[in-house]
A and B are shown apart, each in its own frame.
Chain A
Amino acid sequence: MKTEIQELRKEYKISQEELAQAVGVTRQTIISIEKEKYIASLILAYKIATFFNRKIEEVFDFSKVGEDDERI
């Protein structure tokens, strides 16, 4: 799933480690989400969106849900 996390991180000047600590996951999870290898759970997506003061759909692209994302 495509996300805006990397762009938002750059905008807020936050490292992957800092974001990971803030939302309670490992840095590797943030890397995987950014690389579109792993799809965040609803709770994690909410935490990340809240961290950047955005709505979930502004951070995560749900337009292709069901096409190639088997884990949703």
Chain B
Amino acid sequence: MKEFKIKVKNRMIFLLIVVIALGVVLGYSLSNRDSLIDNNSHIFVRQVGFICGMLAVLLVKLSRSYTTLRDSRKLERAYIQENDERMKLIIRDTSTVTLTLILACLAMSMVFSSFYSSELAQGFWYSILISIIIMIITYLFFNKKY
């Protein structure tokens, strides 16, 4: 449990760093709005909205982690939730199926987009290629680990 507490603390520190970094980016974006807007004001608004959303989610996560650290019962529950083997299996299977579906969707998108735009098809092709390279590297890593 002590190790888990340290793990939660480390996660909180990491989250805090991300929140501060996002805050700095948001502050910079808003203070330099005039020079950043140009003709793409809708992109700027989307970016600011995305950062605000991210900040809100991270702050909620941060406050949850803080309350978990303070309450020993919550900490124990969180520990069980995180180390529950069924939950781990669900997460692993979800990731595997999601990745497979994403790759299938990318492959289909590449085929269909090639009829309209070769650049778009090339983009999809690179995405598939990078995903497969990452998969191979990850596979080799875990093959060596276990």
List chain A positions with a Cβ less than 8 A from chain B: 20-21, 24-26, 28-29, 32, 38, 40-41, 44
Shortest beta-carbon distance from A18 to chain B in Å = 13
User: Is B81 an interface residue, CB under 8 A from the partner?
Assistant: yes
- Give Cα A66–Cα B89 distance, bound, in whole angstroms: 20
A29 in contact with B83 (CB, 8 Å): no
- Give Cα A29–Cα B84 distance, bound, in whole angstroms: 8
A-B pairs with lowest CB-CB distance, top 3: A29-B86, A26-B84, A25-B84
List chain B positions with a Cβ less than 8 A from chain A: 80-81, 83-87, 89
Residues in A with CB closer than 8 Å to B85 are: 25, 29, 40-41, 44
Q: A21-B80, A29-B85 are in contact. List 4 more A-B contacts (CB 8 A).
A: A25-B80, A25-B84, A25-B85, A25-B86
Residues in B with CB closer than 8 Å to A24 are: 80, 83
User: In the complex, which residue of chain B has the Cβ closest to the Cβ of A20?
Assistant: B80
Residues in B with CB closer than 8 Å to A38 are: 86, 89
User: In the complex, which residue of chain A has the Cβ closest to the Cβ of B85?
Assistant: A41
Residues in A with CB closer than 8 Å to B81 are: 26
User: In the complex, which residue of chain B has the Cβ closest to the Cβ of A28?
Assistant: B86
- Give Cα A40–Cα B80 distance, bound, in whole angstroms: 15
Shortest beta-carbon distance from B93 to chain A in Å = 10
Residues in B with CB closer than 8 Å to A29 are: 84-87
Residues in B with CB closer than 8 Å to A32 are: 86
Residues in A with CB closer than 8 Å to B84 are: 25-26, 29
